[in-house]
């Protein structure tokens, strides 16, 4: 206290009516916040030491979560990357797993901010082992929009469709959504390092079992739920037909599970429908082997060299799209005796590219109707 009765680190400001308003200095505020954060961490650490987790109990609780069909639907994501598919636990799964683990704290701290960016540090700490996994993320305070009416435009470009796309200053809601998505992904990345790997693998197997059983029990209902789910993220049923290469009525259980994973990736901000279709359009066939150089023949120069007959490719099949695999699937469809035989070909067709599926789908659909579907 000074001679005027004012605490150290505080400023007195005279107002218009002769009164005094106490204004605490920035330095004192920072010290107070730091002391408060330190006290909270110490309290949580002390509680964690008195109540250590039981991994058997964690396993039971996590598997119980995975047994719920609603949770299983959102516990896994898949997105195409570089010709392959990346599959992993979703943000919702990690949040539930950390809750089952207990004694884990996820914190977010503002590191720096300016007019264009906001930098945050996300940290997941295991209070029992005192091990932390920090991760810094940068949030751009901009969004890209096709309509710039009433917005502050920073730049513009032509997108892949040849239309103008504008980079505009994000609104508070848009910035909050971007920040929440980025923080959630950072927590998932760090959280997966805290959760034991064997628990994750067992939980993912349980998720697969629950989802597969649900799809087989009510494929029509699951198809409708997926159509509604994709519609909520701006993907129309016609776009799903384009992705699959056939009508939704002919979806096999494996395809429905694949669509559910893709929806989870889009919902969590891991990818976009445009990116999914762009990856789908990438060629996946291996390049043709180089032709070996000609070898010398022992026959006289004047004697004609016999030529091997050229094989005739199946009709309406582009050689660049995999003659052998398409022809094999066509043969299996033709030789199918029951609807069950046709249904079993669904997983084989999933390995084909979109173009290959379009070649065999008319024959597949006709044969499926002829045999009356799987029985």
Residues 97 and 228 in one domain: yes
- Looking at the fold, whether 68 and 205 belong to one and the same domain comes out as yes
Quick one: pLDDT at residue 98?
92
Percentage with pLDDT > 70 across the chain: 76
pLDDT of residue 258: 82
Q: What total number of domains does the chain contain?
A: 3
Q: At residue 201, does pLDDT exceed 60?
A: yes
Residues 28, 32, 33, 35, Cα dihedral to 10°: 140
Domain co-membership, 123 together with 78: yes
Poorest-pLDDT segment among 13-22, 41-50, 65-74, 347-356: 13-22
pTM, 2 dp: 0.59
57 band by pLDDT with thresholds 50, 70 and 90: very high
Do both 34 and 71 map to the same domain?
no
Shared domain for 41 and 99, answered yes or no, is no
Residues 132 and 89 in one domain: yes
Asked if residues 195 and 187 have their Cβ atoms less than 8 Å apart, the reply is no
Pick the last residue of a domain from 255, 282, 309: 282
> 342 and 276, same structural domain?
no
Distance CA 125, CA 204 (A): 23
**46 and 60 together in one domain:** no
Q: Is residue 3 part of a domain?
A: no
37 and 79 in a single domain? The answer is: no
How far is the C-alpha of 128 from the C-alpha of 46, rounded, in Å? 9
pLDDT of the residue at 49? 78
> Which tops the pLDDT comparison, 360 or 241?
241
Both 72 and 47 in one domain: the answer is: no
The per-residue pLDDT for range 249-293, each reduced to its tens digit, is: 777 777 888 888 888 888 877 788 888 887 766 654 444 444 444
Continuous segment of H or E residues that includes residue 86: strand 84-89
In-domain check, residue 347: yes
First to last CA, the chain: 88
110 plus 68 within the same structural domain: yes
Residues 95 and 47 placed together within one structural domain of the fold: no
- DSSP-assigned beta bridge partners for residue 358: none
Domain that holds residue 77: 53-139+174-282
């Amino acid at each position: 206290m000074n001679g005027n009765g004012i605490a150290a680190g505080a400023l007195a400001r005279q107002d218009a009516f002769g009164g005094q308003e106490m204004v605490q200095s920035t330095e004192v505020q920072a010290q107070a916040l730091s002391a408060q954060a330190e006290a909270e961490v110490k309290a949580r650490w002390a509680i964690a030491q008195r109540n250590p987790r039981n991994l058997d109990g964690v396993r039971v609780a996590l598997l119980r979560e995975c047994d719920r069909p609603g949770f299983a639907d959102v516990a896994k994501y898949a997105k195409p990357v570089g010709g392959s598919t990346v599959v992993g636990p979703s943000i919702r799964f990690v949040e539930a797993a950390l809750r089952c683990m207990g004694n884990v704290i996820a914190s977010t701290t503002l590191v720096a901010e300016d007019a264009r960016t906001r930098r945050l540090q996300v940290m997941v700490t295991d209070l029992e082992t005192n091990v932390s996994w920090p991760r810094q993320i940068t949030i751009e305070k901009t969004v890209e929009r096709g309509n710039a009416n009433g917005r502050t435009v920073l730049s513009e470009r032509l997108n892949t469709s040849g239309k103008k796309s504008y980079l505009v200053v994000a609104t508070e809601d848009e910035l909050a959504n971007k920040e929440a998505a980025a923080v959630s992904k950072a927590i998932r990345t760090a959280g997966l390092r805290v959760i034991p790997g064997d628990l994750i693998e067992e939980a993912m197997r349980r998720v697969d079992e629950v989802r597969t059983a649900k799809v087989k029990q009510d494929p029509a209902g699951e198809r409708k739920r997926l159509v509604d789910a994709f519609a909520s993220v701006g993907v129309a049923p016609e776009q799903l037909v384009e992705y699959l290469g056939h009508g939704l009525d002919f979806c096999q259980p494996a395809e429905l599970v694949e669509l559910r994973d893709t929806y989870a990736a889009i919902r969590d901000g891991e990818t976009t429908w445009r990116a999914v279709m762009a990856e789908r359009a990438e060629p996946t066939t291996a390049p043709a082997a180089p032709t070996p150089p000609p070898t010398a023949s022992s026959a006289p120069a004047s004697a004609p060299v016999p030529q091997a007959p050229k094989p005739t490719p199946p009709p309406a099949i582009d050689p660049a799209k995999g003659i052998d695999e398409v022809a094999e699937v066509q043969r299996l469809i033709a030789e199918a005796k029951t609807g069950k035989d046709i249904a079993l070909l669904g997983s084989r067709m999933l390995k084909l590219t979109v173009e290959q599926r379009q070649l065999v789908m008319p024959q597949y659909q006709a044969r499926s109707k002829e045999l009356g579907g799987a029985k």
